[in-house]
Amino acid sequence: MLNFIQLRDFALVRELSVDFQAGLTVLTGETGAGKSILVEALGLALGNRADSAMVRHGARRAEICAGFTVPDGAPARAWLEARELDEDDECLLRRTIGVEGRSRAYINGRPVARRQLLELGALLVDIHGQHEHQSLLRRDFQLQLLDEYADHPALLAAVAEHHETLCRLEAEQAELEGLASSGDRLELLRYQLQELQALGLSAEAIEVLEEEHRRLAHAGELLATARQALIQLEAEEEAAPVAALARLNTALQGMQGTDPRLGPVVELLDGALIQLREAAAELRHYCDGLELDPARLREVEQRLSALHDLARKHRVSLAELPALSHRLAQHCEQLAAAEERREALAGEIARAQARYAEAAAALRESRRRAAGRLAEEVSERMACLGMSGGRFVVTVEPLPGKRHSARGSDGVEFQVSANPGHPLRPLAKVASGGELSRISLAIHVATAQRGGVPTFVFDEVDVGVGGRIAAVIGQELRTLSARRQILCITHLPQVAAQGHWHYRVSKTTADGVATTDIRCLDEAARREEIARMLGGVRITARTRAHAREMIEAAGD
């Protein structure tokens, strides 16, 4: 529900704040006073395009704020929560427009794109008249409204469930079709996999092979160095490590009896001597086992060369070849299984299509029954609203081709003939803004018991009608206000008298500058305003009595 709207330096308004309540709020005033300014400002707060001409002359920036209540369960609340823009039950929309034409939008104090204001605005307010927020003209909203009127959530849920299953299976089929269409690709993958598997690839095998290659490639150098080290260790010369350490150890052992503190040194030398002799033995064994093998070296080099060629071919490193082989094996398995799965999937899709078609057909039948009831009710209300002989029809037809969605496979369109003898035309092509507003009023009154947008704005819905029809329009608006918050701009006292709340729009001029103001009327001021609407320039006691009578009759 709309709680308030605040304007600053907008059009003819210097500064203005208007509070709103539930029920029917009417706005009246002289022609040219600026009654539509409030609607234009609200439209901007809801995401309409901005124009620098909207900024009051002499000001730098116009600002519009609109506050709403969005209770739990409301679509607008879900929208805010999904985008983390919610602030309990409150929602504040703010729009600024600079003289240079640049505008900014905010939801609960956080900057947003204008598109987001439009999305949220469509869930908060529906403006009827010659304005942008005419959701009834959208085919998707017409479908939604018909479904709400039909009240068949179980049918909608069944269609949505079968649609989800069908989409999942069709997506899998498309993927498998892509795999199955690449038969040559499968043969290539199998050939590449055989190349890799023939080399017995594993991370450990590649590491061992590289180590063997390094050893064979440097076998001569390794053998010469090892033999030289062995000779130096075991030589008979006094400087040879083993012989020198043995003599040193013997000398210290002889002195140990004189000074026992040499014991630990002797033990360490004994250990070192043992390790030197073991190292010499290991070197001797290493030299005996190390051979020059040119044939084996060539064999290892050839295998490594083949591995490097494969790595370059597949644009991976040598170490990545085993992982590549594993991936190719998995891909080959998928391609090989694709044909078998495709055959099974075809049957699953056929069964899913049949279940979806059955659910969609049941939904279509329910929609057509509801369409007949809705058309009859709206046509009756159109006659009451001054369009006697007019017809309203709701068409429900299957979408062309095999199109399907989570909401079924139907196209819904509201069609209307506002005058007898005229052909039915889509609601979006109704030329008269007044006719469109009254038709919209008839539709919304007929569907008011269902869900929908919580706040409606009717801008001069009574254009071109006489007193009797105006009274009916007022009664219809009051009826609708029992379930929706209604704002109505009107020129007719019959409509204004039905309001729960009454605002008068006036324009004053001071120092050559025009300013628009809006004021909530008390009972006395309201009677005077309706008397003005009844009597024009000259207001008599009889006119005031008539105004009082109209207000009291509306209350009754």
- Mind listing the pLDDT tens digit for each residue in 13-26? 888 899 999 999 99
Q: Looking at 422-466, list the stretches that DSSP marks H as alpha helix, in order from N- to C-terminal side.
A: 433-446
Q: What is the pLDDT of residues 328-355, one digit of tens each?
A: 777 777 666 676 777 788 889 999 999 9
Residue 261, pLDDT above cutoff 50: yes
Spatial neighbors of 283 by CB under 8 A, at least 6 apart, are 226, 229, 230, 233
Residue 376, pLDDT above cutoff 50: yes
Spatial neighbors of 332 by CB under 8 A, at least 6 apart, are 186, 189, 190, 193
Q: What does pLDDT average to over the chain?
A: 82
Element (H, E) at 425: strand 425-426
- Of 463, 491, 488, 428, residue with least CA distance to 134: 428
Regarding the domain delimited by 2-151+386-520, which CATH topology (the fold level of the hierarchy) does it fall under?
Answer: Rossmann fold (3.40.50)
In one letter, which amino acid is 169?
L
The total of other beta-carbon atoms located within 10 Å of residue 32's CB is 10
Q: Evaluate whether 128 touches 135 at the Cβ level (below 8 Å).
A: no
Spatial neighbors of 270 by CB under 8 A, at least 6 apart, are 249
φ/ψ of residue 537, rounded to 5:
-70, -45
Dihedral of CA atoms 471, 476, 478, 484 in degrees, nearest 10, equals -160
Residue whose entry in the numeric block shows the structure tokens 């009291």? 552
Residue 12, pLDDT above cutoff 50: yes
Strand partners of residue 392: 416
Spatial neighbors of 244 by CB under 8 A, at least 6 apart, are 238
Domain boundaries, the chain: 2-151+386-520, 183-334
Core vs surface per residue 449-467: b (16+ CB within 10 A) or e: eeebbbbbbbbbbbbebee
Cα–Cα distance for residue pair 302/296, rounded to 1 Å: 10
- Of 319, 290, 286, residue with least CA distance to 304: 319
Task: Calculate the alpha carbon distances from 259 to 247, 265, 304 in Å.
Answer: 19, 12, 63
Least confident of 177-191, 232-246, 461-475, 479-493: 177-191
Cα–Cα distance for residue pair 128/485, rounded to 1 Å: 14
Structure token pair of residue 107? 């939801």
Q: What is the pLDDT of residues 207-259, one digit of tens each?
A: 766 676 666 666 667 767 777 777 777 665 555 777 777 777 778 887 777 87
Cα–Cα distance for residue pair 136/458, rounded to 1 Å: 13
